[in-house]
């Protein structure tokens, strides 16, 4: 058992400033010489960039379904044994989703630090704070912090609205220079901004002036983290022993869970990185992973990477596997049509085209069955694809087995040694299925009915 200062930063909805506060709190304590570990609740590739920069350590996901309770317990216990402060950033609103951030807080006794965007309210702030705290009587609670506050008078009105003044953790100003920019899919990655560290320092400076920022480490909530009863994450076989996997990694292909890289290494693979945007050649390898990201923002540059396109085609012609995930799959089609209507030729390893839309086309947890093994993960994208390929399988929602006539999820396309889908996989949920994706063992798929194969994927 390890005891450590810990909070879960949550909010009544998305866009309230959770990431700003979590990153500011981490940065503030790191600057004071403390060891801080930060986790992200739920599937997310973008917020962790900021949280990792703020804490100076990798940021892993905690999700009671996707990563599993045993994995969450193991990671929290291990982090508490080496850190002075643990911060978990919630997902969406505190009670949104199944499982929710509140479920995680209750399961592990993480006191909730609620961040509320108060720019258009006064007395209602107190009602909202009270509701968040008391909606579930057993929910551990740390207090409430107001964000985007107009000034001292506004902050005083918000504080006065609370039924319990001791719950007031302070206010952050509106229009400050530490706001984190957004685009479709979420925050702009910290690695894309030259002033990312300066933004975090400004946020930490602002937080330092609040009651929360002035609290000493021992004044923060102290949480006991039990050791896992059963060791999770152990791999039975090193199924990728001796294999080299080339992983695309840059601003166009940035959606990579650090834990997924850990799984590949634990399976015995040697991982090498290359940047399509920088013009890197395809490294000598046995398999390629093209992760998700923003190929639509870099379509012109990717279109010009003809040498890499040809190297990938030769790799495929040699029968070597490619796992293309969401944005990685998008880059493999013949054409991408941007939201403004402009068409860009892409790498053409898959027949068809991708079209960007202004609204989400899919969002939520998904699972993919490969033979006897099931990979858990999620989907989140603004595009759709049109292709002559017949899906080899479909993902399913977590509760699809219990829902009669449930609509199929994301298509898995198998085109020679290429395996491609909008599905983002959490490799640790099934190392055996992960090895199948990278060609270590034959991939087995259940046969689909004609009705399922006729499913219009979008």
Question: What is the rounded CA–CA span in Å between residue 315 and residue 245?
Answer: 12
Question: What is the rounded CA–CA span in Å between residue 232 and residue 61?
Answer: 15
Q: How far is CA 306 from CA 197, 292, 315, 347, 348, in A?
A: 35, 20, 14, 8, 11
Pick from 286, 255, 282, 259: nearest CA to 270: 286
* Helix or strand run (H / E) with residue 71: helix 69-80
Q: Is 385 a catalytic residue?
A: no
- Using an 8 Å Cβ cutoff, are 305 and 250 in contact? no
Question: What is the rounded CA–CA span in Å between residue 358 and residue 338?
Answer: 10
* Helix or strand run (H / E) with residue 425: strand 424-426
> Which residue stretches of 236-389 are H helix?
258-266, 299-303, 306-317, 327-332
Question: What is the rounded CA–CA span in Å between residue 139 and residue 92?
Answer: 17
Catalytic annotation, pick one of 41, 72, 326, 385: 326
Pick from 328, 329, 326, 382: nearest CA to 355: 382
Residue 244, C-beta contacts closer than 8 angstroms, at least 6 positions apart = 269, 270, 271, 272, 283, 284, 285, 286, 287
Which residues are annotated as catalytic? Answer: 326
């Amino acid at each position: 058992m390890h005891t450590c200062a810990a909070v879960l930063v949550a909010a009544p909805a998305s866009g309230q400033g959770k990431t700003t506060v979590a990153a500011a709190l981490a940065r503030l304590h790191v600057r004071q010489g403390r060891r801080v570990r930060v986790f992200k609740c739920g599937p997310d590739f973008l917020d962790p960039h900021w949280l990792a920069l703020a804490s100076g350590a990798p940021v892993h996901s905690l999700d009671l379904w996707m990563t599993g309770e045993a994995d969450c317990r193991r990671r929290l216990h291990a982090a508490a044994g080496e850190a002075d402060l643990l911060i978990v950033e919630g997902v969406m609103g505190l009670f949104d989703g199944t499982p929710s951030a509140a479920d995680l807080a209750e399961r592990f006794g993480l006191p909730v630090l609620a961040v509320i965007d108060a720019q258009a309210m006064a007395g209602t702030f107190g009602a909202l704070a009270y509701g968040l705290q008391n909606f579930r009587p057993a929910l551990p609670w740390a207090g409430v912090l107001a964000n985007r506050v107009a000034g001292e008078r506004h902050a005083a009105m918000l504080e006065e609205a609370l039924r319990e003044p001791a719950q007031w953790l302070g206010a952050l100003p509106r229009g400050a220079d530490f706001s984190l920019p957004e685009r479709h899919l979420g925050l702009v990655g910290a690695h894309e901004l030259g002033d990312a560290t300066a933004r975090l320092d400004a946020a930490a400076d602002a937080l330092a002036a609040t009651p929360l920022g002035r609290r000493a480490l021992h004044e923060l909530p102290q949480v006991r983290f039990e050791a896992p009863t059963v060791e999770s994450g152990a791999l039975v076989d090193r199924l990728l022993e001796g294999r080299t996997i080339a992983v695309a990694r840059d601003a166009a292909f940035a959606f990579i869970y650090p834990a997924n890289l850990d799984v590949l290494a634990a399976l015995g693979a040697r991982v090498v990185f290359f940047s399509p945007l920088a013009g890197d050649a395809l490294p000598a390898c046995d398999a390629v992973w093209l992760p998700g990201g923003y190929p639509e923002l870099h379509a012109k540059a990717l279109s010009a990477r003809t040498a890499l396109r040809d190297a990938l085609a030769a790799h495929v012609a040699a029968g070597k596997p490619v796992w293309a995930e969401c944005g990685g799959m998008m880059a493999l089609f013949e054409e991408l049509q941007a939201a403004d209507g402009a068409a860009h030729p892409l790498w053409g390893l898959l027949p068809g085209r991708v079209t960007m839309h202004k609204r989400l086309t899919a969002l939520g947890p998904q699972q993919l069955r490969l033979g006897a093994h099931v990979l858990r993960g999620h989907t989140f994208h603004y595009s759709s694809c049109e292709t002559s390929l017949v899906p080899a399988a479909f993902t399913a929602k977590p509760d699809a087995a219990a829902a009669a006539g449930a609509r199929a999820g994301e298509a898995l396309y198998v085109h020679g040694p290429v395996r491609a889908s909008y599905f983002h996989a959490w490799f640790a949920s099934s190392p055996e299925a992960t090895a199948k994706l990278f060609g270590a063992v034959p991939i087995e798929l259940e046969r689909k009915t004609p009705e399922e194969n006729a499913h219009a994927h979008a």
